[in-house]
Structure formats: structure tokens, C-alpha cells
Chains A and B, each alone.
Chain A
Amino acid sequence: MVSMTLVELLYWRGCPSYPAALAELRAAMAEVGVDPGSLEQIEVHDEREAAQQRFPGSPTIRVDGRDVVDAGDAEPALNCRIYRRRDDRISPLPDPDDLRDALRRAVASRAGDRAV
């Protein structure tokens, strides 16, 4: 089990995707072997907090500070975030493979740091 990787799930209650995002994220973390205790859930309540958090929509998932899917130049907003799955479908949730890949990159990066 790899610890210390910081996984953040930022969400806004105005969007109903949060429970499904949490479930998918927990499943991906278990699969990759990331300590479930490293998950931090952050509720974004208003536009001020959205700006502070650079929150492009709900859900936003960051691993060691990096968004699992590049949000590009999206403005902070209290929205449901639009994701594109790997098969090109539009979805309110990131592709599970994007979650797993982001987690694996973070785990590999930490393993590399320790080896130096």
C-alpha cells in the first residue's frame, strides 16, 4: 500500500455526480493500491470558494495537486463539469481509466523519488 499520495475530490452539492465520483475514485484507489486515508473530500460552497480552489466544476479530482483531466482554461464555476470519456462520450464523470492512470503516475513518481 502506497501512502502519502494526496488525492483530493472537490465537489459541489448542486451537481448530483458526487456520490458516483466518490465511488469510482475509491475503486480506482483500491485497484492501484493507494491508501484510502489519503483521500480528502473538499466541498465547494459558493463562487468565492470556486475561485479560491480554481474549481472548474464538479467533480474535480486532483492527485498530488494535478487534475486527473486537464481542465484547460476553464473558468472557476459552480457547474457540473463536462468530461469526455475515452470512447468520446460526454459524461459528468471522468473516465475510470483516466483516474487509474493519474493514480499510477503519482505512485510511480513517489517510488522514483524514494529510489533517488
Chain B
Amino acid sequence: MSLGIGERAPRLELLDTSGRSHVAPSGDPATVVVFTCNHCPYALAWHGRLAAVARDYAPRGVRMLAVNSNDAERYPADSPAAMVERVAREPGSWPMPYLHDASQEVARAFGARTTPDVFVLDADGRLAYRGAPDDDFDDPARDAAWLRAALDSVLAGEPVARPRTESVGCSIKWRP
């Protein structure tokens, strides 16, 4: 089961790569929860665009959380240590915290399927957009346009014109 548009998102509380706890939803004007990881080329191709959204919308009260839910045993590139190493290796590329969902409960509660898989929550914590950042992982000029349009609508208190798009990427690697 996936979280439906208009439904209240489950509460998440996860630790980032420096051990700090993050809770959502927590009353921000909008929250972006993006399921991502280290080893997927789709997630990597879109990462810069997502980071730009985090930077551009932070002054407007938008909070972005990047969540890695992959099975780190079978995919060691997604282990907590590898997450820490990546954030240290890419200074300036992480305006959002990188959270580890070791139990995979958050991914299951949201119904996330791919990396990346983008969920936008409004100020009430209700799902306003779910899908891909934009329509082409291979074209940085697309600039996460779907995500930006969704955030603009949520911040304006308007319904999102296209609240659901197809999530494109690697499957989340579930534990056996």
C-alpha cells in the first residue's frame, strides 16, 4: 500500500549521518521526503537537481529529508558507513540531511518503491505530490520541474495540478 494523495503521512524519526535525529512531519510549510541511495544511477543523476531544490526552497520554509532504506547487507554501498563517507566526500552537495532507514519501516509506511521516489507533504503533513523530480533523469536542464511546481502550489495554498507522476529509478532493495 502506498500513501495516497491527501492522506496524512506517517510520522518518521530517523538519524542522519552525523547521528542527529530528524522528525517529520513537524509543521513546516512543506516537507520533501525523497527516498534515495548511493548505488543507483537514477538517484545519482537526479541528486544535484534535488539538492538545488533543497537550497532554493529552504528560505521559503521547505525542509527536505533524503532517506536511504536499502538493504545494506546485500548492498554495502548503501551502508551507514558508506552514507557518512559520501556526505564527507561531497561537501556542498548535501543541503538536506541524509537519513538511514535501517528497519525499512519508513519506506514501507510511505509505500516507496524506487530511488529516487519523491513525496511532498503540506503543512498539515498530507501528501500533496508523489513521483519523479521531473520527466528526464538524463537532462539536468529539466531542473526538477515537477517537484518545483508542486512546492510552488503547496506554498501558495493551492492544489497541485499534477499530484502524481511515475516514480522512475532503481527498486528499493528490501531485506529478504
Give the interface of A toward B (CB within 8 A).
Answer: 14-17, 77, 79-83, 89-93
Task: Report the count of interface residues on B (CB-CB < 8 A).
Answer: 14
- Can you list, as one digit per residue, whether each of B34-50 has a CB less than 8 Å from chain A (1) or not (0)? 00000111101100000
Do A92 and B137 touch (CB < 8 A)? Answer: yes
Give the number of residue pairs across the A-B interface with Cβ within 8 Å. 40
With A and B bound together, what is the CA distance between A93 and B169 in angstroms? 12
Do A90 and B39 touch (CB < 8 A)? Answer: no
With A and B bound together, what is the CA distance between A92 and B41 in angstroms? 5
13 further A-B contacts with Cβ under 8 Å, apart from A81-B41, A82-B44, A89-B45, are: A14-B170, A15-B171, A16-B169, A17-B41, A79-B39, A79-B75, A80-B41, A83-B41, A89-B140, A90-B44, A91-B41, A92-B41, A92-B137
- In the complex, what's the smallest C-beta–C-beta distance from A22 to chain B, in angstroms? 16
With A and B bound together, what is the CA distance between A83 and B45 in angstroms? 10
Do B170 and A79 touch (CB < 8 A)? Answer: yes
> Which residues, 125 to 166 on B, are CB-close (under 8 Å) to A?
137-138, 140
- In the complex, what's the smallest C-beta–C-beta distance from A43 to chain B, in angstroms? 16
Do A93 and B138 touch (CB < 8 A)? Answer: yes
- Decide yes or no whether B112 CB sits under 8 A from chain A: no
Q: List, in ascending order, chain B residues with CB within 8 A of A91's CB.
A: 41, 45, 137-138
Q: Report if A89-B39 is in contact (Cβ < 8 Å); known contacts: A15-B170, A79-B170.
A: no
Q: List, in ascending order, chain A residues with CB within 8 A of B140's CB.
A: 89
- Decide yes or no whether B168 CB sits under 8 A from chain A: yes
Do B168 and A16 touch (CB < 8 A)? Answer: yes
- In the complex, what's the smallest C-beta–C-beta distance from B48 to chain A, in angstroms? 9
- Can you list, as one digit per residue, whether each of B16-46 has a CB less than 8 Å from chain A (1) or not (0)? 0000000000000000000000011110110
With A and B bound together, what is the CA distance between A82 and B47 in angstroms? 14
Residue of A nearest to B77 (CB): A79
With A and B bound together, what is the CA distance between A101 and B137 in angstroms? 24
Closest 6 pairs (CB-CB, A-B)? A92-B41, A82-B41, A90-B44, A80-B170, A90-B45, A14-B171
23 A-B contacts (beta carbon < 8 Å): A15-B170, A15-B171, A16-B42, A16-B168, A79-B39, A79-B40, A79-B75, A80-B40, A80-B41, A80-B42, A80-B170, A82-B39, A82-B44, A83-B41, A89-B45, A89-B138, A90-B41, A90-B45, A91-B41, A91-B45, A91-B137, A92-B41, A92-B137
